[in-house]
Amino acid sequence: MKAVIFDLDDTLILERDFVFSGYSAVAKYLEVGRGLSAERIYGILREEFESSAQNVFNRMYDRLGIGYDEEDIKSLVRVYREHEPDIGFCGDVLPALEELEGSGCSLGVLTDGYLVTQKNKAKAVELDKYFEAIVYTDELGREYWKPSIRGFELLSGKLGIPLSSFVYVGDNPKKDFEIMKNSPIKTVRIVREGGVYSEAPYGGECRENKRITSLKELKGILEELFL
């Protein structure tokens, strides 16, 4: 039996969808707390994000000519990270999962990121309804975020399948494929249009075994990976 393990952001869901959902929550928070127009705030945040994902809240305040301090930014970050997102799976996810299950694969998820944020995303898409095992690496500690092997070892124990029969599907070339350096895990990179890391450089020497643009391609390449 094989195990197909998925990353979450820009693999099963679009990170941009979460970002914009978070901006909507922040805009509503500022409308209530500071009497600002939620529609205007949301528009500014999206515009600034398209320019750069760095320091978006700071740049929003600068554009409005409103003074702020570190606590103001922290409060917006907290709202952003802890909001209940309005998101869904990418369109290719459920058909691909159905095919993989039909071929006898076990399915799991391993995801980095702040625990409350990732769990809220998982709740929004009912992740546990579709996957046998989920590991949130932040529960283990930041040092066990990818490319640490610890999360994969936990999944191996939960699923009863050895790492040599694992395929990990991720999008981030900075860290998702470095697991191959110290394990027999095979990897697949999905490159989605608009993905946050679709143009990012690799973070190390490892390269994915296969590259796809849709999860519907997965079932067809599993046999190639395990020849």
What is the mean pLDDT of the segment spanning 5-20?
Answer: 97
* Residue % of the chain over a pLDDT of 90: 92
E strand intervals along 13-150: 106-111, 133-136
Which 3 state secondary structure label does DSSP give 186? strand
Positive or negative, the CA dihedral 194, 86, 187, 98 is negative
What is the mean pLDDT of the segment spanning 158-179?
Answer: 96
Question: From CA 21, how far away is CA 58, in angstroms rounded?
Answer: 18
Q: Which residues on adjacent β-strands are paired with residue 5?
A: 108, 168
The reported pTM is 0.94
Question: From CA 209, how far away is CA 199, in angstroms rounded?
Answer: 18
Binned at pLDDT 50, 70 and 90, residue 226 comes out as confident
* CATH topology (fold) of 3-14+87-225: Rossmann fold (3.40.50)
Binned at pLDDT 50, 70 and 90, residue 67 comes out as very high
Question: From CA 4, how far away is CA 98, in angstroms rounded?
Answer: 12
> Tell me, what's the pLDDT at 227?
66
* Mean pLDDT over each residue of the chain, to the nearest integer: 96
